[in-house]
Amino acid sequence: MRKIILSVLGVLLIIGGIFVAKMIIDSKTQRKPRVEKVIKTVFAEKAQNGDVAIMVPANGNLRAKRRVELYSEVQGVFNGSSKLFRPGNAYRTGETIIRINASEYAATVQSAKSNLYNELTSIMPDLRLDYPDIFPKWQAYLSGFDMAKSTPDLPEMSTENEKFFISGRGILTSFYNVKNLEQRLSKYRISAPFSGVVTEALVTEGSLVRAGQKLGEFINTDVYELEVAVSKTYSDLLKLGENVALTSLDKTKTYSGKVSRINSSVDQATQTIKAYIEVNDKSLREGMYLEASLDAKQESDAIEIDRTLLLENDQIFIIRDSILDIIDVKPVYFSDKKVVVKEVPEGTTIITKPVVGAYAGMQVKIFEDKSPKTEE
């Protein structure tokens, strides 16, 4: 009997526990969290169509517009002078840069000039007797013949008899032989074709110079050219004489140049066209690296925006009554960070900075700058 009573009590306790637990569970109400509608703040502005300058970026190294490579056409010992032939030394127009020892060859020239003088002297008696009318001009030529100076040109021969007489005595052959030797002698001295600076010197005083040997390089430091490679896509946009803004590699200095030449052929390997920008400035140096912005042309009725704002299928976000919408545009030029687009309605409010998770129909709020303005 006692066991029965305990069993009944245990069952009642279990049933009571289940009932109490159910009441506690039912008494706990679950409240759904209130979803707050988030309205994102965006940066926007009114679209104002106008003329947009298309700038084609390019870069390259400066090279002197006027430069010569110095080569020797004769052989001899490089003689020293008051100014050493070294990189950085400046020379004026006509000043001797290199002088090669020509004492032996100069003696050969003097010997040939002496032979010519002797031949002229030998024909003078015959000229006096046979051609007294032309004798005075040949006598004047012989009197002005100076062995220490360059051989003057022969007098002009006006008649056939005079030409036959002079040529038959071998005067013309001797004269042109002397002029040839004098021309060769002048190659022992290399003078500056223009005022400039030596940038490369491959020989030193006392060295044996051989014919055809490169001696160095000489440049004019007044005007430089920047050779840039421009994509053939923009070949029809480039124009001669266009002004170009140039900047140094560290962006600390700016220079102004202009397009002086445009190559008409396309590089088959890179599909680019070479353009040459002329620039002059005292601070420029050969080999400097510069970046150029070529002002290719003006695109009318267009605006310039960040490339990140251009969506797929050539679309951009606009705002209509605080709601995002999408319109189609026509891109006409792409740069590294910008894109020039057309067919944007005037006065349309466009997004100026990308919006994360943006979609058509999204409600947004335009950012308003309420910072106080300082009165001057």
Q: DSSP for 209-278?
A: E-TT-EEEEEE-SS-EEEEEEEEGGGTTT--TT-EEEEEETTS--EEEEEEEEE-SSPPTTT-EEEEEEE
Options 3.40.109.10, 3.30.1510.10, 2.40.30.170, 3.40.50.720; CATH for 55-64+221-298 is 2.40.30.170
* Torsional class of 313: left (φ above 0), alpha (ψ -120 to 50), beta (otherwise): left
Residues 6+ apart with CB under 8 A from 6: none
Q: Report which DSSP code applies to 175.
A: H
Q: What one-character-per-residue DSSP string does 80-116 give?
A: --SS---TT-EE-TT-EEEEE--HHHHHHHHHHHHHH
- In the chain, the largest separation of any two C-alpha atoms, in whole Å, equals 184
Cα–Cα dist 82/9, whole Å: 131
Cα–Cα dist 231/290, whole Å: 18
What pLDDT shows up at residue 118?
A: 92
Tens digits of per-residue pLDDT, 282-318? Answer: 888 888 999 887 766 778 888 989 988 888 888 999 9
What pLDDT shows up at residue 34?
A: 60
What pLDDT shows up at residue 376?
A: 37
Query: Of all helices (H) and strands (E), which one includes residue 141?
Result: helix 135-143
Which residues of the chain register pLDDT less than 50? 373-376
Task: Please check whether the domain covering 42-52+300-366 is classified as CATH 2.30.30.
Answer: no
Residue 130: both structure tokens together: 């046979």
Handedness of CA 313, 317, 323, 325 (dihedral sign): negative
Backbone dihedral angles phi then psi of residue 120, each to the nearest 5 degrees: -65, -40
For 14-52, letters b (16+ CB in 10 Å) and e give eeeeeeeeeeeeeeeeeeeeeeeeeeeebebeebebeeb
Residue 12: both structure tokens together: 């009642």
Please report, as a single letter, which amino acid is at residue 29. Answer: T
67-102+188-219 CATH? 2.40.50.100
Contact 218, 224 (CB under 8 A): no
Among 166, 203, 194, which Cα is nearest to 86's?
Answer: 203
Tens digits of per-residue pLDDT, 90-105? Answer: 999 999 999 999 998 9
What is the domain partition of the chain in residue ranges?
Answer: 42-52+300-366, 55-64+221-298, 67-102+188-219, 104-186
Q: Report which DSSP code applies to 127.
A: H
Residue 39: both structure tokens together: 């309205």
What pLDDT shows up at residue 245?
A: 84
Query: Of all helices (H) and strands (E), which one includes residue 299?
Result: strand 289-306
Burial class (CB in 10 A: 0-12, 13-18, 19+), 125: exposed
